[in-house]
Structure 1
Amino acid sequence: MLRYLIVGIIAFSVDQFIKWSVATYMDLGQKIPLISGVIQVTSIRNRGAAFGILQNQRLFFIVVTAIVLIGIFVYLRKIYRKQKMLAYALALIFGGALGNFVDRALHGEVVDMLEFTFINYPVFNMADVFIVIGVALVMIDTLRASRTEKISAQALSE
């Protein structure tokens, strides 16, 4: 269980360090190209959720995220020995969700900074990246488990 908590703590720490760096060293609205025409660092604040929805619903986000974090922790304790990929996925989701939770709880807003410039896509942060990677791993694990079950069922029926 400790290795998964460490993964979550690393994800949380990376997210918080980058947010702190942007908030400390960049002016609000400032843009710094990373790869010209592809991605830039843009210092903005978000009081809502993904794509800016549900603006100024701080209490809602705090309550829902607290419930999700508790649920992930409880489920992680249940599955970590048998479902390693799922455990890593949940650890990444936990770390990312905790990062955005802390921002909302302490500051009432989330620092966003990563902006794709080659497409019209909302600015996001590292917590969001960790959550998306975690969800992708959950989907891969689910598809893999479904395929394994299907192969096992076919083998039993033959």
Structure 2
Amino acid sequence: MSLKKALFIIILILLIDQISKIYIKTHFALNDDITVFSWFKIAFVENDGMAWGTKLSDFFTFISDRSAKLILTLFRIVAVTCIGFWLVDVTKKKKSKTLIFAISIIFAGALGNIIDSVFYGVLFSDSDMQIATFLPEGGGYAEVFHGKVVDMLHFPIWSGVLPEWLPFFGGKYFSFFDPVFNVADIAISTGIGILIVFNKKAFNDKPKTEIHDSESHNNLT
């Protein structure tokens, strides 16, 4: 896969991700939700930290929430820069399409969430108890690098009380599953999943001609 095709995939994912986020941000107040199906909701939440809403300050209590947010955003920028260099390198070396595709969607997802963290605080007003305004006159709800990631996809597939016979969790209420995420999160998770499930195919360094010759030799023997 060429770098141009990889860039097309990245731009496509970024457009879908950002259009969906901007629509939610400008049409929903925080915590508003719409039931599409019994197992799928559009639910607007904002994530100020890492996965599952956790924050660095939850682990390092000596760090303020504001400092933790800045550190996390800067770390994301460094990480996505490294992923970008990795993508350019694997395309130049003509690595497998599986590897290039996986890195491309991981890069797109990471960049999509970085855009929220870096710019959304300046571009939008606060969403608490109101629908946010794009480019508000009085300024946004936060400074650059302190924006919150917009999430909206919720799949409450099942919820109920677990059977009593289950060890440890029997008789307790359980919901599968509670996290709310976005298109960027899906891209990142899918890319990582591809690298794990199709590891051998993704990191196969043998050129196609070499693989073909090897298969032909095995058939002859």
Identity of aligned residues (%): 30
Q: Residues of 1 paired with 2:152 and 2:41: CA distance?
A: 8
Q: Residues of 2 paired with 1:59 and 1:67: CA distance?
A: 12
1:136 CA displacement:
1.1
Aligned residue in 1 for 2:156: 117
Q: Quick one: which amino acid aligns to residue 83 of structure 2? A: I
Aligned counterpart for 1:64 among listed residues 63, 75, 78 = 75
Higher mean alpha-carbon deviation, 107-116 vs 47-56, is at 47-56
Aligned partner of residue 76 in structure 1, secondary structure: helix
Aligned residue in 1 for 2:184: 127
Aligned partner of residue 104 in structure 1, secondary structure: helix
The question of 1:77 aligning with 2:88 is answered: yes
The structure showing larger relative contact order (alpha-carbon pairs under 8 Å, at least 6 residues apart) is 1
Aligned residue in 2 for 1:141: 198
1:141 CA displacement:
3.1
Aligned counterpart for 1:92 among listed residues 79, 91, 105 = 105
1:109 CA displacement:
0.3
Aligned residue in 1 for 2:10: 8
Q: Residues of 2 paired with 1:83 and 1:144: CA distance?
A: 7
Gaps of 5+ in 1: none
Count of residue pairs the alignment pairs up: 151
1:39 CA displacement:
1.2
Q: Residues of 1 paired with 2:107 and 2:200: CA distance?
A: 21
TM-score by length of 2: 0.63
TM-score by length of 1: 0.86
Q: Residues of 1 paired with 2:104 and 2:153: CA distance?
A: 22
Q: Residues of 2 paired with 1:143 and 1:88: CA distance?
A: 15
Gaps of 5+ in 2: 57-64, 122-146, 158-175, 207-213
1:58 CA displacement:
2.0
Aligned partner of residue 48 in structure 1, secondary structure: coil
Ranges of 4+ aligned residues in structure 1 off by more than 4 Å:
145-149
Q: Residues of 1 paired with 2:84 and 2:47: CA distance?
A: 26
Q: Which has the higher helix share?
A: 1
Q: Residues of 1 paired with 2:186 and 2:50: CA distance?
A: 14
